[in-house]
Amino acid sequence: MRKPIVTLTTDFGLHDPYVGIMKGVILTFCPEAQIVDISHEVQPFEPGQGSFLLSQSWRYFPTGTVHVAVVDPGVGSARRPILVEAAGHTFIGPDNGVLAMVYAGVPHKVRVITAERYFLKPVSQTFHGRDIFAPVAACIAGGVRPSSVGKEIDDYLKADWHEPRRISKRAWGGLVLHTDRFGNMVTNFHVEQFQEIQLRPFDLLVGTRHLDRLAHSYSEMTPGEPFLIVGSSGYVEVAANQGSAAQLLGCGTGSPCELHLF
Amino acid sequence: MRKPIVTLTTDFGLHDPYVGIMKGVILTFCPEAQIVDISHEVQPFEPGQGSFLLSQSWRYFPTGTVHVAVVDPGVGSARRPILVEAAGHTFIGPDNGVLAMVYAGVPHKVRVITAERYFLKPVSQTFHGRDIFAPVAACIAGGVRPSSVGKEIDDYLKADWHEPRRISKRAWGGLVLHTDRFGNMVTNFHVEQFQEIQLRPFDLLVGTRHLDRLAHSYSEMTPGEPFLIVGSSGYVEVAANQGSAAQLLGCGTGSPCELHLF
Amino acid sequence: MRKPIVTLTTDFGLHDPYVGIMKGVILTFCPEAQIVDISHEVQPFEPGQGSFLLSQSWRYFPTGTVHVAVVDPGVGSARRPILVEAAGHTFIGPDNGVLAMVYAGVPHKVRVITAERYFLKPVSQTFHGRDIFAPVAACIAGGVRPSSVGKEIDDYLKADWHEPRRISKRAWGGLVLHTDRFGNMVTNFHVEQFQEIQLRPFDLLVGTRHLDRLAHSYSEMTPGEPFLIVGSSGYVEVAANQGSAAQLLGCGTGSPCELHLF
């Protein structure tokens, strides 16, 4: 039988013992769990970035996987812990947007986590990753049914900051969702929604540069010249062959961009 | 049956292959081991910091876990490899203080590791993590009894650098044990020993600032204003809501502080 | 029965979700796989460095291990994906030198990977780690025979940049293969090939410094004084006790050096 998988996405970094502690708790509650790190280098206090990283990753895990996301500047406040069921996967985290890009695209059910019998006690005011999210995830991985952690709710945080806004008939305002290690800037223009960029002329303004070339692979382009490419996630990326597009353009995560279709 | 867990705490970082090599050795000697990283970003040559990180983490793992700590500036010298049994866990590392905060608080037994039959040979002069600590940990995880690795000793390094010193009837000198990614500074004042700070006025001097507020959660405080909070480990932390207390105060790991109870 | 091990060596870093995605794919195709990270901090676009890190590590894993190396500036171009069998291990990566130091030292067989039935489809132009290397590695780990992924080839990239060049009867030109976190500089002079440095006087010129001392352990040397030591990998390293030799000498990975035997 397949061992249950638990993935972790946090802003804890890898210097501190927080991630190791969460893994200890998970393995205590669910010894057979297989734990996989998505990223612990989410920008501190930026749930939206965590949401993006998880949204890129979860579909590559088998159904039944439990995904924990802890980017939690409001820990200890009134924000609620939630559990989301979507596409056969389970997602657990605070109700602050860190799961918003995950459930934006698929049918889903959201529950507020209230069943304290699954918590590690006493629950601290500063580390719910250890005391609430890790043990609940481990229990779900171990077979506890989602319905037993709390009631379904409808008033969870819905966010659409990651959607392009139409600014005229043939123009959209967007933004850079993420800049990766190579300096590729992932925009929020998804190829499914903007198929036309593969068919006809366009102009993407990022920083002070107008880009109008869509490449099929990095290696066909001249080093040092920024261009667009449909990234591995389906989002249009601003890239440069063997160089950092972010550095070339002086832009990065959060930078606005503007797409014109002709 | 529960698979044996081996945790790793080192100053090896994640750029070099040293951690991966240790894991290869562990899985060679104990194929069923589940390996968990606590941290590999201990400040190079600072056993005390490794000791702190491990002391924060080990209780969250199930009994039977084997914890390996390798922060080992004296590798190849006369310092001895030791094995510590405490509270149903096993700890393995050099006798240089890297395990000192672990065994300071609990009844324990210490052995010097001499049973070369468990070592990876030839033993190098520079990488005992690979040649001694990893294989011995794997053997213990696989069922070898601690008594077979070497004799019990009493002259291992005991350290009390992490304990507050009394400087007058109602005042104690302490220090910052650790600064985390968020800029929280963990002091060595533990709430069990200093319960009074929850009950009556106090003053904590850190850098040039006097702090007299103890918060229950980050979110109840104004951003930008440093305060105290009982951290998830039970130690009093100097924190700031959505900001770095370390930066605000110009202090960090090792900085002295002074607590006055009124 | 021993669970199959898959190791990963990439230049993806740990901020982005790429490594987590590869692990999701591996666990989807081979649920029983045990995944171990060697390093994800290879310098971007430097297959040679990845090759070095993997060459240091693979022998410490049990036979049957599958090693995946993805440092792939030419992704999407004509460079081929290859599978190498050597010493009972399997290696998978692009044919760009990232496996060159691995197979340089041992009898080996190389295949070009063409069996698209093992790929994740559609295959992207930018992330073959996810679409080709991870699923093929998982299939091999799960029992698929190497012969079924593609034909044996002989025209794969052979590299000897990591070999010392003889510059006179008793002198060799070499280079620093890798600088580790501690500032130790691993040269490409291997003790098996240059046993004489343990027996007779020598001079190693690195940067502007002539070094003529070979130490047995770090701790026997004065802090601040650079010296040579036979590293844990068998290569001669330039080191300093409790300090960074790289910083002391103003050198690093890629720096040339010159060895004279007297």
User: What are B235-257's pLDDT values in tens digits?
Assistant: 999 999 888 999 999 999 999 99
Chain B partners within 8 Å of C14 (Cβ): 14
Residue B178's closest CA among B239, B127, B117, B221? B239
To the nearest whole angstrom, how far is the Cα of A227 from the nearest Cα of chain B?
30
Between chains, do A41 and C14 touch, taking CB under 8 Å as contact?
yes
In b/e form, how buried is each residue of A21-53, taking b as 16+ CB within 10 angstroms?
bbbbbbbbbbbebbbbbbbbbbebbbbbbbbbb
Between chains, do B217 and A125 touch, taking CB under 8 Å as contact?
yes
Q: Across the interface, which of A7, A14, A219 has its CB nearest the CB of C20?
A: A7
Q: Is the dihedral of CA C120, C124, C129, C133 positive or negative?
A: positive
Write the CA distances from C18 to C7, C37, C178, integer angstroms: 15, 13, 24
To the nearest whole angstrom, how far is the Cα of B60 from the nearest Cα of chain A?
5
Q: Across the interface, which of B57, B219, B220 has its CB nearest the CB of A17?
A: B57
**pLDDT given for residue B166 in this prediction:** 96
To the nearest whole angstrom, how far is the Cα of C216 from the nearest Cα of chain A?
31
Position B78, amino acid: A
Between chains, do C24 and A36 touch, taking CB under 8 Å as contact?
yes
What would the two tokens of residue B17 be? Answer: 């292959």
Chain A partners within 8 Å of C18 (Cβ): 180
For chain B, give me the number of helices (H) and strands (E)? 6, 15
Q: Is the dihedral of CA C24, C30, C31, C32 positive or negative?
A: negative
Establish if A6 touches chain C: CB-CB under 8 angstroms: no
Locate the chain C residue with the closest alpha carbon to A39: C15
CA distance C41 to B88: 36
**pLDDT given for residue A78 in this prediction:** 82
**pLDDT given for residue A1 in this prediction:** 67
Chain C partners within 8 Å of B11 (Cβ): 181
Using CB atoms and an 8 Å cut-off, which of residues 18-57 of chain B contact chain C?
A: 18-21, 23-25, 27-28, 31-32, 35, 44-45
Name beta bridge partners: C203: C260
Q: How confident is the model at residue C1 (pLDDT cuts 50, 70, 90)?
A: low
Contact of B103 with B86, CB cutoff 8 Å: yes
Between chains, do A19 and B37 touch, taking CB under 8 Å as contact?
yes
Average pLDDT over residues C44-63: 95
What does the pLDDT look like over C231-256, one tens digit per residue?
998 999 999 988 899 999 999 999 99
Pick from A210-214, C1-5, C47-51: least confident: C1-5
Q: Is the predicted pLDDT of residue C59 greater than 90, yes or no?
A: yes
Establish if B205 touches chain A: CB-CB under 8 angstroms: no
**pLDDT given for residue B1 in this prediction:** 67
Q: Which ranges of chain B have pLDDT less than 50?
A: none
In b/e form, how buried is each residue of B195-224, taking b as 16+ CB within 10 angstroms?
eebeeeebebebbeeebeebbebbbebeee
Position C249, amino acid: L
| Chains with ≥3 CB–CB distances under 8 Å to C | A, B
Pick from A47-51, A101-105, C97-101, C211-215: least confident: A101-105
Locate the chain B residue with the closest alpha carbon to A74: B219
Q: Is the predicted pLDDT of residue C78 greater than 90, yes or no?
A: no
Q: Spell out the SS3 assignment of B141-204.
A: HCCCCHHHCCCECCCCCCCCCCCCEEEECCEEEEEEEEECCCCCEEEEEECCCCHHHHCCCEEE
Of all residues in chain A, the percent with pLDDT exceeding 70 is 100
Chain A partners within 8 Å of B19 (Cβ): none
CB contact set of C143 (below 8 Å; sequence gap of 6+): none
To the nearest whole angstrom, how far is the Cα of B105 from the nearest Cα of chain C?
30
Q: How confident is the model at residue C53 (pLDDT cuts 50, 70, 90)?
A: very high
Chain A partners within 8 Å of B34 (Cβ): 27
**pLDDT given for residue C8 in this prediction:** 98
Q: Across the interface, which of B7, B41, B60 has its CB nearest the CB of A15?
A: B41
Residue A262 buriedness (CB in 10 A; 0-12 / 13-18 / 19+) = exposed
What does the pLDDT look like over A144-200, one tens digit per residue?
999 999 999 999 999 888 999 999 999 999 999 999 999 999 999 999 999 999 999
CB count, 10 Å around CB of C2? 14
**pLDDT given for residue C169 in this prediction:** 95
Average pLDDT over residues A125-131: 94
Secondary structure of residue C144 in the 3-state scheme: coil
**pLDDT given for residue C75 in this prediction:** 86
Establish if C198 touches chain B: CB-CB under 8 angstroms: no
Between chains, do C75 and A218 touch, taking CB under 8 Å as contact?
yes
B vs C: CB pairs below 8 A: 91
Average pLDDT over residues A217-239: 92
Residue B33's closest CA among B60, B12, B59, B64? B64
What would the two tokens of residue A92 be? Answer: 């657990």
Between chains, do C17 and A54 touch, taking CB under 8 Å as contact?
yes
The alpha carbon of C258 is separated from its chain's Cα centroid by a whole number of angstroms, namely 23
What does the pLDDT look like over A60-116, one tens digit per residue?
999 999 999 999 988 888 899 999 999 999 999 999 999 999 988 799 999 999 999
CA distance A167 to C158: 54
What does the pLDDT look like over C107-134, one tens digit per residue?
999 999 999 999 999 999 899 999 999 9
| Chains with ≥3 CB–CB distances under 8 Å to B | A, C
